[in-house]
Amino acid sequence: MASKSFSFAFLLLFFLCTFAAAEPCDNHRFRGGKTFASCIDLPSLNCSLHWNFHSLTQTVDVALRQNSVDQKTRWMSWAINPHSKGMVGSQALVAFQKDDGTMVTYTSPITSYATQLQKGDLSFPVNGVSSILEGNEMIMFATLALPANTTTVNHLWQEGPLVGNVPRMHPLSGPNMGSMGTLDFLAGKLVVDKTSSRNQWKVVHGILCTLGWGFLMPVGASIARHGKQWPGTAWFRAHVFSQCSAFLIGLAGGIIGVLLWLGALGARIGGGIHQYIGITLLGLGAIQGIVGYCRPHKEDKKRVYFNIFHCSLGYGTIGLSIANVFLGFHMVHLMIKTWPQVTYIAAISLLGTISLILEGVGCWRRTTVRREIAAEETL
| CATH number (domain holding residue 143) | 2.60.40
Q: Is residue 1 part of a domain?
A: no
Same domain assignment for residues 266 and 322:
yes
Same domain assignment for residues 185 and 201 = no
- Does 239 appear as a known binding residue? yes
How would you classify residue 72: left for phi > 0, otherwise alpha for psi between -120 and 50, otherwise beta? alpha
Residue 9, in any domain of the structure = no
Domain count, the chain: 2
Q: How many residues does the chain have?
A: 379
| Domain boundary pick from 163, 193, 223 | 193
193, 223, 254: which is the final residue of a domain? 193
Strand partners, 54: 59
Higher pLDDT, 262 or 351: 351
In a domain, 20, yes or no: no
Question: Do 36 and 179 lie in a common domain?
Answer: yes
Q: State CA 188 to chain mean position distance.
A: 31
Residues 211-248 as b or e (16 or more Cβ within 10 Å = b): bbbbbbbbbbbbbbbbbeeeeeeebeeebbebbebbbe
Is residue 3 domain-resident?
no
pTM here is: 0.53
207 and 347 housed in the same domain: yes
CATH of the domain at 228: 1.20.120.1770
Last residue of a domain, one of 138, 171, 193: 193
Q: At what angle do helices 273-293 and 303-331 cross, to 10 degrees?
A: 150
% of the chain at pLDDT higher than 70: 84
Please state, rounded to an integer, the average pLDDT across all residues of the chain. Answer: 82
> Which residues sit opposite 300 in a β-bridge?
none
Question: Is 50 marked within a binding site?
Answer: no
- 253 and 340 in a single domain? The answer is yes
**301 in any annotated domain:** yes
**Interval 162-217: pLDDT, tens:** 888 888 888 766 677 778 888 888 877 666 555 555 667 888 899 999 999 999 99
Structural domain range at position 344: 197-359
User: Within this chain, do residues 142 and 267 fall inside the same structural domain, yes or no?
Assistant: no
pLDDT in tens, 87-142: 888 899 999 988 888 899 999 998 887 788 889 999 889 999 999 988 788 999 99
**Inside any domain, residue 56:** yes
Whether the Cβ atoms of residue 179 and residue 45 lie closer than 8 Å to each other: yes
Pairing of strands 137-145, 59-67: antiparallel
Query: Do the annotations mark residue 170 as ligand-binding?
Result: no
In a domain, 135, yes or no: yes
Instruction: Give yes or no: residues 125 and 204 share one domain.
Output: no
- Ligand-binding annotation for 310, yes or no, is yes
**221 and 123 both lie in a single domain:** no
pLDDT value, residue 327: 87
Q: Read off the pLDDT of residues 283-293 as tens digits, 9 standing for 90 and up.
A: 999 999 898 88
Q: Are residues 186 and 37 in the same domain?
A: yes
Residue 77, domain member (yes or no): yes
Does residue 153 sit in the same domain as residue 274? no
Residues 250, 324, single domain; the answer is yes
Confidence at residue 270, expressed as pLDDT on a 0 to 100 scale: 58
- If asked whether residues 188 and 230 sit together in one domain, one would say no
